[in-house]
A and B are shown apart, each in its own frame.
Chain A
Amino acid sequence: MLRDVMWMDYVQNRKALLLNVGIFLVFVLIMLTGESIPALEFIGLSCLLFSLAPMTVLVREDKFKTKSLVCSLPAKRKTIVLGRYLLGLGIGLGGGGLSILLARLLPFSTLDTSGLPLLRAVLVGTTMVVVPLSFLLPFTIRFGLIGMLVFLVGAQVLGVLVLLVSRLLGFDGLRSIFAGAGDFVVLSRSALGEIGFAVAVLALLTLFATVSCRISIGIYERREA
Chain B
Amino acid sequence: MSELAIDIEGLCKSRKGFELRDVSLKLPRGYVMGLIGPNGSGKTTIIKLLMNLARRDAGNVRILGLDNVENEVEVRSRIGFLYDEPCFHDDCNLEDQRRALCRFYPGWCDSTFDRLADEFGLPRKRKFKKLSRGMKTKFGLVLALSHDADLLVLDEPTSGLDPVFRRELLDCLAQVLQDEGKSVLFSTHVVTDLERIADYVTLIDRGEVAFSLSREELNESWGVIKGDEAVIEAVSSVDRKGLRRGAYGVEILTSNIESARRRLGSSAVVERASLEDIMVLMTGDERHAA
CA of A75 to CA of B77 in the docked complex: distance in angstroms?
A: 9
Judge if B273 is at the interface, Cβ distance under 8 Å. no
Across the interface, which residues of A come within 8 angstroms of B86, CB to CB?
A: 69
CA of A8 to CA of B74 in the docked complex: distance in angstroms?
A: 19
- Cross-chain contact of A69 among B74, B75, B83, B96 (Cβ < 8 A): B83
> Which of B53, B88, B89, B92 has the most chain A CB atoms closer than 10 A to its own CB?
B89
Across the interface, which residues of A come within 8 angstroms of B77, CB to CB?
A: 74
B224-265 near A? 1/0 per residue, CB < 8 Å? 000000000000000000000000000000000000000000
Q: Closest residue to A73 on the B side, CB-wise?
A: B104
Across the interface, which residues of A come within 8 angstroms of B74, CB to CB?
A: 74
CA of A60 to CA of B100 in the docked complex: distance in angstroms?
A: 15
Give the size range of B's interface with the partner.
Answer: 20 to 34
A4 pairs with B87, CB closer than 8 A: no
* Residues of A within 8 A of B (CB-CB), count: 24
B103 pairs with A4, CB closer than 8 A: yes
Within the complex, the shortest CB–CB distance from A225 to chain B, in Å, comes to: 4
Judge if A224 is at the interface, Cβ distance under 8 Å. yes
**Stretch binding the partner chain, chosen from A11-19, A42-50, A105-113:** A11-19
Across the interface, which residues of A come within 8 angstroms of B105, CB to CB?
A: 74
Judge if A68 is at the interface, Cβ distance under 8 Å. yes
> Which of A1, A69, A75, A222 has the most chain B CB atoms closer than 10 A to its own CB?
A69
- Cross-chain contact of B53 among A64, A71, A74, A75 (Cβ < 8 A): A71
Q: Closest residue to B140 on the A side, CB-wise?
A: A69
Chain B residues within 8 Å of A, Cβ to Cβ: 48, 51, 53-55, 72-77, 81, 83, 86-92, 96-97, 99-101, 103-105
Chain A residues within 8 Å of B, Cβ to Cβ: 1, 4, 7-8, 11-15, 60, 64-66, 68-69, 71-76, 222, 224-225
In the complex, besides A64-B88, A74-B75, A225-B54, 13 extra interface pairs with C-beta distance below 8 angstroms are A8-B103, A12-B89, A12-B97, A15-B91, A65-B87, A66-B88, A69-B88, A72-B53, A72-B83, A73-B104, A75-B76, A76-B72, A224-B54
